[in-house]
Structure 1
Amino acid sequence: MISINGTQINYYYICKTKLWLFSHNIHMEQESDNVKFGKTLHEDSYKKDNEVLIDNLINVDFIKHNNPIEIHEVKKTQSMKKSHEFQLLYYIYYLKKEKGLNNVVGYLNYPLNRKMFKIELISEKEKELESTLFDINKIICSDIPKPKKSRICRKCAYFEFCFC
């Protein structure tokens, strides 16, 4: 099975074309104003909390070493909450399966809205996540999926690649 990172999980729930492009090292995010804003938002909102990169696959925005261990993901808006949720669920899943950590809970932080949501890996979500991992591998190993235009496309870093 191919190594999968958190961004790929996130993109799976947003756009299969974006997932495929990113997975084949076609990266356009560094030019995106939305991505730059998100990085600034994290830096400004959580100055004393540092990102933690684990096994070069998962990049947790910050960790609180409580009992249970808290992993936090900071996002700009809730508009793609399902993709955010499954990215965080993947981090919890990875820590459970690869690191043997069973006492981990996640939090989605939306500082602009002053909201925080607790995310836990329950068996139903774990099964859906495993199905997602299987689908991601199939997408990556296939030809590029045809882009499906939606309302979120105009803000996407890959918009011109897909539609111009």
Structure 2
Amino acid sequence: MNITGTHIAYLHTCLRKLWLFANGIQMEHTSQVVAEGKLIAETTYLDRARKYTELELDGIKIDYYDAKNKVIHEVKKSDKVEHAHFAQVKYYLYILIKNGIDNPSAILEYPKMKQRQIVEWEESDMAEVEKWKNKCSAIFYQDECPPLVKKSICKKCSYHDFCYAGENDINEE
């Protein structure tokens, strides 16, 4: 199975969500939060489609890639799970480097917050991303779904109803 940026982001967000997604249970299409995020990405930078290209490579899909400057532009709704966003673009950088693109970088953009974060590749990232890939593969092929770990971000997750079906106590960390 090709590992995608979504897999890497979910690895850093919720192992249960990663397993469900990797095993064909995809709930994003039912989520208002996901729909809002897509709308923000599509309507915030209207000239992006003209300026930058969409790049599909080794199972990843980068919506906005500035090939001239070798910069990935990743638009996010909020910084609630910023560590997962960093991991996702680090994975994109990893794929670009593996495909012979020297010194790529990325910019995480949070238009609603009017913030931008530059993400640079560091040599130590290579080993870290390899670990993430191995962890993803191990989770993909587990026979059982990882247990529910209740977190504050669960309330807005597209898998919330699935994970909490039959739960009486919804105390989250």
Match of 1:110 in 2: 110
Match of 1:58 in 2: 60
CA distance in 2, matches of 1:133, 1:147: 22
Residues 96-129 of structure 1: per-residue CA shift (max 9 Å, x gap): 11x2111311110111111111111212222221
**Which is further off, 9-18 or 127-136?**
127-136
CA root-mean-square deviation: 1.4
TM-score (norm 1): 0.93
Matches within 5 A, 1:15-54: 15-50=14-49, 52-54=54-56
TM-score (norm 2): 0.88
CA distance in 1, matches of 2:59, 2:24: 14
CA distance in 1, matches of 2:40, 2:16: 27
Count of equivalent residues: 161
Greater radius of gyration (CA): 2
Tell me, which stretches of 5 or more residues in structure 2 are unaligned? 166-173
How far the C-alpha of 1:52 sits from its partner, in A, is 1.6
How far the C-alpha of 1:55 sits from its partner, in A, is 3.2
Tell me, which stretches of 5 or more residues in structure 1 are unaligned? none
Match of 2:123 in 1: 123
